[in-house]
Amino acid sequence: MDRLAIVVPCYNEEEVFPETARQLTERVKDLIEKQKIAENSFILFVNDGSRDRTWPLIRAEFEKNPYVFGLNLAGNVGHQAALLAGLMTVKDLADVSISIDADLQDDIGVMEEMIDRYHEGCDIVYGVRSQRKTDSFFKKATAQGFYKFMSAMGAKTVYNHADYRLMSARALQQLSHYEERNLFLRGIAPLIGYQTACVYYARKERFAGESKYPLKKMLAFAFDGITSFSVKPITFICVLGLLAILVSLAAIIYALVVWIMGDTVSGWTSVFASIWFLGGVQLLSIGIVGQYVGKTYIESKKRPLYNIESFLQHDEKGQAEEKAEN
Ligand code: UDP
Ligand code: MG
């Protein structure tokens, strides 16, 4: 039987914690009863430097609840890093992990389906929101625009998937090889490979407390997502420069024609043509320098180039053997 670890990042979640711990414990017990997961499965609450009573609550729960584990970060590092801390902690303890937000806006009912997909051979299972009835119009519009924009900018993400996700131990192992500082987990997961699946659910409202993602944090998150995954913005500058040069060539021809026809103020032609042409050359040059900077940036992430799933080889005796990596 496989040991499951549910990873829950918590930042100032004292209002929701008791209820969340209760519901998740019920869920784990239920899954154990149905023989879907091992009896030593657990829930890991990661305290992301909360300033309220979240950590004392986690500790108290740990003392009386055998299914609860706690990880206390020394300070607030943000949702993504806190989640990663939790995942990296469980990668050697558990066979499979599920990450979920502390407010349980994501339906814990589909965990069973996630586990089923895992048993069918999937290493990553994405929880995908099928509807957002309860989110405000503003949140819906901005979030949806965000996914569209992300994919237009070249970052692969699963539409309407946040961080409610099952990952097997070997997927976590591979995740640990991504050493970048700018974390955008939901963009990295699709790069890992392996067989994946999606399960669908309706997203609920936060039952207590308030969102820890105000607009400012959301915008920063979006900017991070785009700039960590693509250097397309730099390419735009190059294209803009090229366009300016083309326009300037057309303009030079036009200016020459006007000049030949003697229909212009003296000096206008050369000034007009050189401004456009130089402007274009400058933009293009900045863009090209940018391309190198962008490459350096991508290189500096030291991302793994590939992930081997298995290796078929014959040993000296000519016997076939399959070696699973990780
Ligand atoms: N969170 C965190 N560190 C932070 C901000 C948020 O660990 O600095 C956690 C928070 O406790 C919650 C999850 O990240 O479990 C998602 O936050 P929230 O529900 O407020 O975001 P929303 O659902 O409004 O996008
Ligand atoms: Mg939430």
What pLDDT, on a 0 to 100 scale, did the predictor assign at position 122? 93
Tell me which DSSP letter residue 140 carries. H
Structure tokens belonging to residue 89: 């902690």
Distance 13 CA to ligand 1 centre (A): 9
Which strand (E) or helix (H) includes residue 289?
Answer: helix 268-300
The predicted structure's pLDDT at residue 310: 55
* 323 has a pLDDT exceeding 60: yes
Q: Whose Cα sits closest to atom 23 in ligand 1?
A: 211
Distance from residue 9's CA to the centre of ligand 1 (Å): 7
Q: Which pLDDT score, from 0 to 100, does residue 102 have?
A: 93
Kindly state the tokens that stand for 265. 């103020």
Q: What pLDDT, on the 0 to 100 scale, is given for residue 29?
A: 94
β partners of residue 97: 5, 167
The single-letter DSSP state of residue 315 is: -
Q: How far apart are CA 54 and CA 161, in angstroms?
A: 26
Q: What is the pLDDT at residue 34?
A: 92
> How far does residue 44's CA lie from ligand 1's centre (Å)?
15
User: What pTM did the predictor assign?
Assistant: 0.74
Mutate to test the pocket of ligand 1, among 8, 44, 213, 218 (most ligand atoms within 8 A of CB): 213
Residue 88 near residue 172, CB atoms below 8 Å: yes
pLDDT tens column, 195-248: 999 999 888 777 777 777 777 877 877 777 777 777 787 888 888 888 888 888
Cα 44 to Cα 50: distance, rounded to the nearest angstrom: 16
For residue range 161-180, list pLDDT tens digits in order.
889 999 999 999 999 988 87
Paired with 292 in beta bridges are none
- Whether the per-residue pLDDT at 276 is higher than 90: the answer is no
pLDDT of residue 311: 58
pLDDT digits (tens, 9 = 90+) for 24-59: 999 999 999 999 999 999 999 999 989 999 999 999
Q: What is the number of alpha carbons within 13 Å of residue 156 lying toward its C-beta?
A: 6
Q: Indicate which atom in ligand 1 lies nearest the CA of residue 13.
A: 11
- Looking at ligand 1, which atom is closest to the CA of residue 46? 7
Q: What is the pLDDT of residue 223?
A: 77
Handedness of CA 212, 165, 226, 9 (dihedral sign): positive
What distances in angstroms separate CA 239 from CA 210, 242, 246, 287, one per listed residue?
Answer: 43, 5, 11, 8
The ligand 1 site (C-beta within 6 Å) comprises 9-11, 13, 48, 76, 78-79, 82, 101-103, 105, 211-213
Which residue lies with its CA nearest to atom 8 of ligand 1? 78
Locate 223 and state its tokens.
Answer: 């900017």
Q: What ranges make up the beta strands (E) of the chain?
A: 4-10, 42-47, 68-72, 96-99, 124-131, 161-168, 196-202, 310-314, 320-324
Task: State which ligand 1 atom lies nearest to the alpha carbon of 105.
Answer: 23
Residue 202 has φ and ψ, to the nearest 5°, of: -95, 130
Closest to 104 (Cα-Cα) out of 3, 4, 20: 20
> What distance in angstroms lies between residue 94's CA and the mean position of ligand 1's atoms?
24
Q: What share of the chain is helix, strand, coil (3-state, %, to 5)?
A: 50, 15, 35
52 phi-psi bin (left φ>0, alpha ψ -120 to 50, beta other): beta
pLDDT at 97: 96
For range 70-84, the mean pLDDT: 89
What is the residue-averaged pLDDT of the chain? 84
